Amino acid sequence: MANERRPNGGQTGALDGIASHARKEGGKKGPPPVHLWNPPFCGDLDMRIATDGTWYYLKTPIGRPALVKLFASVLKREDDKYFLVTPVEKCGITVDDAPFLAVELKIEQGDQGCVLNFRTNVDDWVACGPEHRLRFEPEPDTGGLKPYLHVRRDLWAKVTRALFYDLVELGEERELAGEKMFGIVSGGEFFAMAPADSLKEFA
């Protein structure tokens, strides 16, 4: 067929470039310095991170965890837009809610008391504290709360419902600005969830 096109409209070229750069960066220590890179925009990829943390490429789930981790390592956020970046290119992708999911909780006793360590779905461990805060957003549909954990550079993980229940179980009441708040302590910080008297609504 003369008019045969690559089914993805030629996106694989850009994606190959990103993957090969990310692989090179992956050999170094820590996540690549995506904040230092500001290459020209090369359009949007048909790539989406769904609310449940699944990555889709051309509407198909990416079945290789190693590949998802690779792309996650070069994820960058500018305002509410998300991109995969390398030193030479920057492609837009869609993120339905938060790009990561916090899926495992490990509690440690440190110098400053309890530290909540979260593992994300792409296998980063994040120690919750002043650098990695928890925030709780109202969920209008249910009247409940949606918890998020800061991972790095404006990238957040949604905390799964199962772990949120753990947090509620470990929570405590504190007075903040004259109001009794229910929240959770980690790394010496208190992260308020909601006024203590509204507990029943989200627990």
Q: How far is CA 193 from CA 77, 181, 197, in A?
A: 25, 7, 11
Query: d(Cα 107, Cα 104) in Å, to the nearest integer?
Result: 10
Query: d(Cα 58, Cα 159) in Å, to the nearest integer?
Result: 26
Between 20 and 112, CB nearer to another protein? 20
Q: Which residues contact 109 (CB under 8 A, 6 or more apart)?
A: 115
User: Please, what is the minimum distance in Å from the beta carbon of residue 144 to another protein?
Assistant: 10
Between 67 and 196, CB nearer to another protein? 67
Between 85 and 160, CB nearer to another protein? 160
Between 7 and 178, CB nearer to another protein? 7
Q: How many residues bind another protein (CB under 8 A)?
A: 39
Q: How far is CA 16 from CA 27, 89, 158, in A?
A: 17, 11, 28
For residue 90, what are the β-bridge partners?
41, 85
Question: Under rule CB under 8 A, which residues in 45-84 are in contact with another protein?
Answer: 52-54, 57-58, 60-67, 70
9, 75 Cβ separation under 8 angstroms: no
Q: Does 119 sit near another protein (CB under 8 A)?
A: yes
Interaction pattern, residues 93-112, with another protein; x per rule: CB under 8 A: --------x-xx-xx-----
40, 90 Cβ separation under 8 angstroms: yes
* Interface positions with another protein (CB under 8 A): 8, 12, 15-16, 19-20, 23, 52-54, 57-58, 60-67, 70, 101, 103-104, 106-107, 114, 119, 121-123, 160-162, 164-166, 169-170
